[in-house]
Chain A
Amino acid sequence: MGKIWRVSGPLVIADEMKGSQVYEIVEIGKAGLVGEITGLDGDKAIIQAHEDTLGLKVGDKVEGTGRILSVELGPGIVGSIYDGLQKSLLTLVEESGSFIKRGVKALALDRNKKWHFTPTVKAGDILGVGSIIGTVPETSIIEHRIMVPPGFKGTIREIHEGDYTVDETVAWLEYEGKVSELTLKQEWPVRKPRPYEQRLAPSGLLATGMRVMDYMFPLALGGKAAIPGGFGTGKTVALQQLAKWAQTHLNIYVGCGERGNEMSDVLYSFRKLKDPNTGELLQDKEIFIANTSNMPVVAREASIFVGITVAEYFRDMGYDVLLIADSTSRWAEAMREMGGRLEEMPGEEGFPSYLGSRLSSFYERAGMVECLGRPERKGSVTVIGAVSPPGADFSEPVTQNTLRIVDALYSLDVSLANKRHFPTINWLTSYSLYTDAVGDWWNGVYPEWANTRTAALKILQQEAELEEIVRLVGPEALPEGDKLLLLVARMLREDFLQQSAYHEIDAYCAPLKAGLMITTIMKFYELAREMLNSGIRVEEIRSSPMVYKISRMKDISNELFEQKAKELWQEMEQELAADKGGVL
């Protein structure tokens, strides 16, 4: 046991700490504030306190716990709301009211709740690390698969079906004469990636229901993406959309250093919204980690690692998990603040020089893997990190270091936000390197995907070039062909790329609907070009009722869309052909 030697904000230096290890968790002072050792120097330990250090005294005790920062993994996680250190915030409300008091403990998993465990193996089975021994129905959506924790293997001696708390033994495993007891719960240190059998390349579309992502810049399961954007670009709304509608088994939302009201809005709306696939409440497939901007800075650093570790645990069960981190900039700033207090030599803009490696140690934990143990299964963790660049300037260190790691970029554009074009994902500067990885998936759903996507992006590119000319000579001076292209580009922007997060139907767009929508616009372009050739002016084409009907496509439900689109195509052929006949 040591004692405090110095306190400066969240930095605590303790003396007489011989025998401690780096990243060990300590309890500081009478209140037992949680801290983490980040460095050792002789008998002194450098500690970052995860709680406000107000009122600590020189000479107060500092106690090592002998364990490093870990998460508890077991039934009861799904649907929970945790702080950055995996304390249950709902328990904290019960224990200490509306405000977070210092030193109050709240376990991540409920110790009293009984879960029904059904074994999937029997006595005598020989199991390796990661093998599934049984299941617990955790929520209406998630079946929690209980696995042999890393470090254990052997022959099952005994295993029973029944109702258990997370602490009770459900199975006995014998290896070389030594018997270990397995419970529903395991622990894992947050800074260490969980093991897997083999890493696989990302594949298959992570369907998000957001057209500009799914269709234009698709993200593959197991991929990693960044969403940078200045304030007011709709970053949080876009991320919430992903958390709501992404077609994964489980979503984890890490609110790291962000707004409290928005966090409560997310928590509140997820208790009401339903998953489009299962029809069950969304909170049955979500885990929230909330460390808002006024909560202790140091816990912000931990929150991201807590999130990714939980994600890996569910990946190991064979699930596809999406982790959303909002925002990695706040995470980086927390590192900068601590680096400054430790008087480390700063790198660019005061950020520590290990910023890049710390960011990659997080993003690299995304991926698709073949899981350890039996039965054979694949699981994935997809990571989407928000970046909040100061002054919306993407040349700053966090954005730049992130871009070196991720394979998809959704760049949010202030000028689109000012035009209220949402989502503000800029189609000219965003990219995805996963178009090949999702090719097979799209071929199964909508084989025209690759062609229509390329054609649409080309039109948008041409529009950007024409815009420069328009600024000089005005739209009326363009040739008719270019005017038509501008009209179609505008339809692509307004009737396809723009999507309302708050419209009941438009909020989630099925991939097939997206494909049919873009095909409709392309068919219109084709017919309109024929009309141009027969001498009809763009002015007249623009006033065709079809333009209006196309603009209302968004409001047609996913289920009815295929039929409605075909009707629309027929009508379009008649309408636009009739016009042609009228002139001839």
Chain B
Amino acid sequence: MSFSSLYIKEGRAIRKAKGALLIVESIPGVEFNEIVDVQLGNGEIKRGQAIDIGEEAIVIQVFGGVSEVDLIDSKVRFKGETLKLPVSIDMLGRFFNGMGEPIDGGPPIIPDNYMEVNGEPMNPAARQPPAEFIETGISVIDGLNALVRGQKLPIFSGAGLPHNRIAAQIIRQATVKGEAGKFALVFAAIGISYDEASFFMKNLEGTGALERTVAFINTASDPVIERISTPRMALTAADYMAWEQDMHVLVILTDMTNYCEALRELSSMREEIPSRRGYPGYMYTDLATIYERAGRLMGKEGSITIMPILTMPDDDITHPIPDLTGYITEGQIVLSRNLERKGIYLPIDVFLSLSRMMKEGIGPGKTRDDHNNVFMQSYAAYSEGCYLREISTIIGAESLSERDKVYLTFADEFERKFVSQGEFEKRKVEDTLDIAWSLFSMLPERDLRLISEEFVRKYLPKGESGSP
């Protein structure tokens, strides 16, 4: 931390301690959002922040909770600065806690700079629209929900679904065509179990990506209140790597549901008026200040791509956490319990998943000229097949027409060949598109309405066109 203030403002008059909040008598010169040390009677120090300052009182939010604070011996010391993260290129390969302090036993970071953890909003006029395709090697993502640099694309999962394995596969396989580039991974574990956190670490070790990773770990047993700062610390490190070190940064935030729970807990401690399901009314804005730090900037080499992972309570996509996230992020990858039960890996729900930045990242020169058409047609045909599957459960497959039966088979094959993929199988985007074409050859050619005739001639496997 810097030594900007010569005097330290100190106060002993703590009036109230409850939950994670302290109410102390006002001291002149305290800044809004200033960092505070709370010294307990036994000498232990906790970090806090002034979240409401006034002439009558100051409200302090204490990271780590107010346990063991007493109203007589505890002291509050104002540090004269706001919450900052010391940053340096040496952070790569290191582990930190939710407050940005090293927890791997290594030496402290010799900072190149101290950065404000809340960041500053990007000027929309300075942003560069994301357009570089990231090849994840996963057909459902590359083919139907392409990810581009600078995008924020969450994984909506449910308890027990393999979101961690999918995220790990993306981390292992993601590349940008024809470019080595400087790449960094920022990983923030927010309130997840120790086992989950170590799963990721083990996966990274295997690929040698660990040296390019900055990890911020707040496990389920760490202080709840630090879950608020964990993603901000991670994104501040990402800001530094992307905008000052010209790196392409992928940020994985898991699990954002725990973040939102912490936000709700804090909000109720502050006795704020709750909005839907007890979450605070500003949750949209709060999440936006995290996710909107993704992007590309004109005149800058680097980029920040964010992939948050969240578990939908009770698989409910209309729950405020996935709902507000979906309104901010540029699409979502939704996992399906149904596909999981069928034993399909990756169980990605094709209909609910969406990438809003896809159209910018695909096409000639980026993936292949037929990509958009193939995407539209796969979607339409699979959708028709699923609709017929639904009907056939009531009336029986036998009562369907011949044409309809073809679509029914198409849907099954599509799940078996296109959606299904090995956990360590990396498919080139061309291979993904070719799989789709081989599936199209089952359908009557005149049904390929969404594909321009030119591509049908160019890519449709010859001689095995389906029966009408």
Interface residue ranges, A against B (CB under 8 Å): 5-9, 13, 15, 52-59, 81, 89-90, 92-93, 97-102, 230-232, 236, 255, 257, 259-265, 267-268, 290, 292-297, 330, 333, 336-337, 340, 346, 349-350, 388, 390-393, 417-420, 470-477, 494, 502, 539, 543, 548, 551-552
Contacts and interface: CB of A to CB of B under 8 A. Distances in A.
Contacts of B394: 471-472, 474
Given A6-B53, A93-B125, A349-B276, A259 B379 contact: no
Interface in B105-126: 116, 118-126
Contacts of B383: 418-420
B8 to A, nearest CB: 16
B351 interface: yes
B451 to A, nearest CB: 12
A81 B123 CA distance: 11
Place the interface of chain B in its size category.
35 or more
Given A53-B32, A232-B331, A292-B292, A336 B124 contact: no
By CB atoms of chain A within 10 A, which of B26, B116, B354 has the most? B354
Contacts of A261: 127, 129-130, 150-152, 294-295, 330, 357
A319 B245 CA distance: 49
Nearest to A232: B354
B372 to A, nearest CB: 8
Contacts of A99: 119-123, 126
B55 A264 contact: no
B468 interface: yes
A352 B53 CA distance: 25
A264 B391 contact: no
Nearest to A552: B449
Given A7-B32, A502-B359, A543-B468, A474 B399 contact: yes
28 contacts: A5-B54, A6-B52, A6-B54, A7-B54, A54-B118, A55-B32, A58-B29, A58-B53, A92-B125, A93-B126, A99-B123, A99-B126, A232-B326, A232-B354, A259-B330, A260-B127, A264-B125, A264-B128, A294-B121, A294-B285, A333-B285, A390-B276, A391-B319, A417-B354, A418-B351, A419-B380, A475-B400, A539-B401
B120 A101 contact: yes
A296 B285 CA distance: 9
A565 to B, nearest CB: 19
Given A261-B129, A337-B281, A388-B327, A476 B123 contact: no
Contact of B400 (A100, A474, A494, A552): A474
Contact of A231 (B54, B274, B326, B449): B326
A349 B285 contact: no
Contacts of B128: 264, 268
A297 to B, nearest CB: 5
Contact of B284 (A97, A230, A260, A330): A330
A8 B330 CA distance: 31
B131 to A, nearest CB: 9
Contacts of B31: 54-57
Given A232-B354, A391-B318, A420-B383, A333 B129 contact: no
B182 to A, nearest CB: 19
Given A57-B53, A333-B285, A391-B323, A265 B360 contact: yes
Contacts of A57: 28-32, 53
A505 to B, nearest CB: 12
B399 A476 contact: yes
A56 B395 CA distance: 69
A264 B129 contact: yes
**The 6 nearest A-B residue pairs measured at CB:** A391-B318, A6-B54, A293-B288, A264-B127, A294-B292, A231-B326
A29 B300 CA distance: 33
Given A5-B54, A56-B31, A97-B126, A293 B292 contact: yes
Interface in B355-397: 356-357, 359-360, 372, 376, 379-380, 383, 391, 394-395
A292 B303 CA distance: 19
Contacts of B243: 98
A297 B360 CA distance: 29
Nearest to A57: B31
Contacts of A7: 32, 52-54
B273 interface: yes
Given A93-B123, A294-B121, A340-B272, A420 B281 contact: no
Contacts of B323: 231, 390-391
By CB atoms of chain A within 10 A, which of B127, B130, B151 has the most? B127
Given A7-B32, A293-B285, A294-B292, A263 B391 contact: no
Given A260-B122, A261-B295, A58 B395 contact: no
Nearest to B387: A419
Contacts of B351: 418-419
A89 B53 contact: no
B285 A297 contact: yes
B293 interface: yes
A453 to B, nearest CB: 25
A290 B121 CA distance: 12
A56 B404 CA distance: 67
